[in-house]
Amino acid sequence: MNACLAFAARNLARVSGYDPEAAEYFHSACIELLIPALSDQTSAADPALLAATVILRVYDQLNATGDDERHLWGTTALVDLQNPDAPTAGGIRQAAFWVFIRQDIYMALVHQRPMRCNMDSFNVRVTFDAKDDAAWANWAIWLLGLIINYCFGPGEKSWESWNHLNSLMDQWELRKPQSFVPFFYKERSEQDKQYFPILYFFDRIHITGCQYFHIGRTLLAIYDPRNNTMHVGLELQRAQRQLQKRVLNHVRELYGIAFTTSPDFGPALFTTCCTLPLFGPWVTDRNEQLILMTLLKDVERCISLLHSH
């Protein structure tokens, strides 16, 4: 409860001038309870403790001018103590687990490093046969984590590993429920000064799944081992144009989702915003660049989180 109150008070202090001391009070009260609990391995596996730590992680993001990942390391230690079935355990344990994975993905993208979470320790079976849309969104999130480990991890960037991940993304795209297809879609049109596509979805869970899907696809395009094939002359220019086109196809979809999403859905804006350091340089059109700058302002205004990267 103290973690929830600390987060709420901090957010109110950022957007409405609410007394910041209230947030500090609840934060200190929560830490006072957490410290002894963390010293007991049995208590540390309590899902309520994990949930409180995840919430405080978001609190620290709201409260800090920078992010050195100290608290993410602590949350990672708690996640590693969870049951391997935590991703599908239901209740607060499952919810806290997936929030942590999304936090880990955010920091991995910003710092271009592999996931802190040991993904091999958890039973996430991506079977592409679930009837629950939340499962499909979580699969997109999980697949992105695997792609991040491939792109930023120390292992060999083999064609076999890339092709396996690309095949999983192919299956997600081909077999996803119809609900993940936007009910309204309008292609970008430079003539109409509409520089990003317009996409409307039925529910936020569909927005989330498609965002993570396009981030994963973009990373796979950039880290395709075939990009390292030597080209010269006109063949080099052709290869560069093809890569640019592949990247922009997904980047424009990703940012189009953000711009046509309800402004009160802060996570969608924030998820997209954290990709700008990675994908922004691929956007070379001046009009598109100016529009993307508004994304940073939208994030700050809607979820009160300064994007300092």
**Tens digits of residue pLDDT in 106-123:** 989 989 999 998 999 999
pLDDT at 142: 98
81-85, 91-95, 129-133, 210-214: the lowest-pLDDT one: 81-85
pTM across the whole model: 0.86
Contacts (Cβ under 8 Å, ≥6 apart) of 51: 3, 92, 95, 96
pLDDT tens, residue by residue, 197-228: 999 999 999 999 999 999 999 999 999 998 87
pLDDT tens, residue by residue, 25-53: 777 887 777 767 666 666 666 777 778 77
Q: Does residue 243 lie within any of the structural domains?
A: yes
The percentage of the chain sitting over the pLDDT mark of 90, rounded to a whole number, equals 44
pLDDT at 101: 92
Q: Does residue 308 lie within any of the structural domains?
A: no
Four-point Cα dihedral 206, 277, 8, 4, nearest 10? 70
Q: What is the total count of domains within the chain?
A: 1
Average pLDDT, the chain: 84
Range of the domain at 273: 2-303
Indicate if the pLDDT at residue 68 is higher than 60: no
pLDDT at 65: 46
Q: Which two tokens stand for residue 44?
A: 């540390």
pLDDT at 25: 78
Higher pLDDT, 254 or 96: 254
pLDDT at 271: 85
pLDDT tens, residue by residue, 3-13: 677 767 776 77
Residues in a beta bridge with 212: none
Indicate if the pLDDT at residue 92 is higher than 70: yes
pLDDT tens, residue by residue, 133-186: 999 999 999 999 999 999 999 988 899 999 999 999 999 999 999 999 999 999
pLDDT at 74: 58
Band of the pLDDT at 305, cuts 50, 70, 90? very low
pLDDT at 77: 65
Higher pLDDT, 262 or 286: 286
pLDDT at 307: 36
Burial 42-53 (b: 16+ CB within 10 A, else e): eebbbbebbbbb
62 by Cβ neighbours in 10 Å (0-12 / 13-18 / 19+) ranks as middle
Q: Which two tokens stand for residue 235?
A: 């063949």
